[in-house]
Chains A and B, each alone.
Chain A
Amino acid sequence: MSTLAHVFEAAGLATIVLSSNLSVVERMNPPRVLHCEFPLGRPLGKPGDAEFQRDVLMRAFGLLDATEPVLETHPDTIESDETPMSCALPPRYDPNLPAAVDEAQGLRAAYDRAVAARGSTSVGRVLTADEIPGALGVLHQWAEGASWTETPLPGKNTIAVAHDIRTYYEEAGLELVDGPPPEGRAAEAWFHEQTEGGKTLMAARAALKEQEAPFPMWFYMAPGHR
């Protein structure tokens, strides 16, 4: 963002960066910065809160009055909350299936509702929703000791597969959440800590590391702090 601000200003455009990482903008010196200490992934702060989002934009536009480079900080701080969101999960249905496969199939109706409501889905880098249970089946095998070189993963790219699985779960989970919409990272925590899909993904990631698979192949399957 900061690089683009420099480039755009040089071309004759007035820019405002909504920053999420203060140490970066302080060193890169883009011309106008509104630093927002909000959850990463939520640069306007609060989903569904138009008034708050307008306030962020109006503070940003206020920087256009500056006559020299300026960095201001939004007065509100919003912390992420890594308490897993409260969300119903489907009951076990087919004991012959790995738990994650069974669970993913059970979430399909909620996922379909989410797609119908939003009109779009961020699942689809390399997998369709139909392919999610099968991919989890392979991750389960890896976690149980199968060699990743001999047991091919649908979609092949482990990072893209992990994105598709997590997105499938989060989009479905937001249809099932109990209570107010989750704070930043609460859905991430729910997926990785409470769902069989997330646990299977993390176990497969650990198995890849154990099998000495290339570092990027397993590391970027989950947030780095996990």
Chain B
Amino acid sequence: MSGDVAMRELGKQMPVPEFETTAFTTLTKPLSESTVAIVTSSALHRQGEQGFSPTDTGFKQIDRADRDLVLGHWSPNFDRSGFQLDLNVVYPIDRLEELSANGVIGEVASTHFAFAGNQPDTVSEIRLDTGPACAQQLLAAGVDVVVLTPV
């Protein structure tokens, strides 16, 4: 069994947090006038910055201009060479810049954020603490749309 098949099979067995309802925010302005941010669970951080610990429930800020990024996720169960070849395959910041320049989206957010994908099973901290805190920072930065990328 290949690594990806094995991980996707494992995903079927994993208990996941339950959400009784799905919150839904409708975009109230055109995409071409909206500010877009990326939030990734790949544990990206800047070179030289303290990385994520194996049980880290926090998040790190990535500035729009940052490209010297490190892939800090603790799982050995995914391909890393794609990121090494082109960070946009995980964190499509250059694609957002192009879409903004072409008028497809309004602005690229000034700040983006990374979490670590390996979280406690309950994800209570993200649900109740660090997730809402990150949302407030995104709103404060004028973000309308968030693209969420895993690894």
Q: In the bound complex, do residue A3 and residue B131 qualify as a contact, i.e. CB atoms below 8 Å apart? A: yes
Q: In the bound complex, do residue A69 and residue B69 qualify as a contact, i.e. CB atoms below 8 Å apart? A: no
Q: In the bound complex, do residue B76 and residue A223 qualify as a contact, i.e. CB atoms below 8 Å apart? A: yes
Q: In the bound complex, do residue B16 and residue A27 qualify as a contact, i.e. CB atoms below 8 Å apart? A: yes
Q: In the bound complex, do residue A14 and residue B146 qualify as a contact, i.e. CB atoms below 8 Å apart? A: yes
How many of A's residues come within 8 Å of B, CB to CB? 85
* Nearest B-chain residue to A43, judged by Cβ: B149
Complex Cα spacing A122 to B144, Å? 31
Q: In the bound complex, do residue B146 and residue A13 qualify as a contact, i.e. CB atoms below 8 Å apart? A: yes
Find A31's partner among B17, B22, B138, B147 (CB 8 Å cutoff).
B22
Q: A48-B85, A163-B76 are in contact. Are A80 and B2 (CB under 8 A)?
A: yes
Q: In the bound complex, do residue B72 and residue A122 qualify as a contact, i.e. CB atoms below 8 Å apart? A: yes
Q: A61-B105, A119-B67, A174-B84 are in contact. Are A184 and B79 (CB under 8 A)?
A: yes
Complex Cα spacing A16 to B14, Å? 22
Q: In the bound complex, do residue B98 and residue A3 qualify as a contact, i.e. CB atoms below 8 Å apart? A: no
**CB neighbours of A185 from chain B (8 A):** 2-4, 79
Contact with B along A180-206 (1 / 0, CB 8 A): 011011111000000000000000000
Find B12's partner among A12, A23, A125, A163 (CB 8 Å cutoff).
A23
Interface size bucket, B side?
35 or more
Complex Cα spacing A223 to B134, Å? 31
* Complex interface residues of chain B between 63 and 111 (CB less than 8 A to chain A): 67-72, 74-86, 88-90, 92, 94-96, 98-99, 104-105
Q: In the bound complex, do residue A11 and residue B136 qualify as a contact, i.e. CB atoms below 8 Å apart? A: yes
Q: In the bound complex, do residue B147 and residue A39 qualify as a contact, i.e. CB atoms below 8 Å apart? A: no
**CB neighbours of A184 from chain B (8 A):** 4, 79, 81-82
**CB neighbours of A64 from chain B (8 A):** 27, 31, 145
Complex Cα spacing A27 to B72, Å? 27
Q: In the bound complex, do residue B151 and residue A41 qualify as a contact, i.e. CB atoms below 8 Å apart? A: yes
Q: A31-B24, A64-B145, A188-B3 are in contact. Are A40 and B77 (CB under 8 A)?
A: yes
* Nearest A-chain residue to B124, judged by Cβ: A3
- Name the distance in Å between A46's Cβ and chain B's nearest Cβ: 7
Using a CB–CB cutoff of 8 Å, the interface residues on chain B facing chain A are 1-4, 6-8, 10-12, 14, 16-19, 22-27, 31, 39, 41, 47, 51, 54, 67-72, 74-86, 88-90, 92, 94-96, 98-99, 104-105, 115, 117, 123, 126-127, 131-132, 134-136, 138-139, 143-151
Using a CB–CB cutoff of 8 Å, the interface residues on chain A facing chain B are 1-24, 27-31, 39-48, 50, 53-54, 56-58, 60-61, 64, 67-69, 79-80, 82, 85, 114, 118-122, 124-125, 159, 162-163, 166-167, 170-171, 174, 181-182, 184-188, 220-226
10 A-B residue pairings within 8 Å (CB atoms): A6-B23, A6-B127, A41-B78, A56-B92, A64-B27, A80-B2, A119-B47, A185-B2, A220-B74, A224-B10
